[in-house]
Structure formats: C-alpha cells, structure tokens
Amino acid sequence: MELTAGHTFYFKSTENENLKGVGFILHKELEIWITEIQGISDRIARVLITKARDTVWKTIQVYAQTTSHQEEEVADLYEVILKILDSRKSH
C-alpha cells in the first residue's frame, strides 16, 4: 500500500490478510533494492534489501508475545528468530 509521502507499507501474514500479521513502512528510495519480503508467521516477517552485490540488509519485524503466553510459545518464537538471523541465504 502506497502512503501519501510515496513510501510503501508492506503487510505480511500467513493467515487471513485482514487479521494477524506484521508490517514494514519502507522509504520510497529503497523500493528498487527490495529483493524479498516474506511472511514467516503471523508474528514474524522479513525483508531483504540488496544495495550492492555484497551488501544485503536483513530486517526482521517481530510482534512478540506478552507475559500472558506460555514460556514454551515464547521460546519457540525466539528459536525461529535465531534461525532467521543465522540463515546465510544468498541473493
């Protein structure tokens, strides 16, 4: 969705696109370098921005559980985040 200033709002969800999910507002000048936007879960999304052959920015957006969630759920979320950070996917 393009915003009034020309920047873009990206929303990613793995379920119903109107419920649950996370998003990014990205500056309009970054548009040409976006190589991937991925909804990993209803709480995690990732955007890859490749400005040069050897310069890739990996940004992760997380909507973390509150203390009302089970410890196992929170631990699972952290495990997924660590896997994303450790991934060495080439683009």
Q: What is the DSSP string of 12-41?
A: E-SS-TTSS-EEEEE-GGGGGGEEEEEE-S
17-43: pLDDT as tens digits: 666 788 888 888 888 999 988 888 888
Q: What is the pLDDT of residue 14?
A: 67
The whole-model pTM stands at 0.72
Contact 23, 10 (CB under 8 A): yes
Tokens of 47: 């955007």
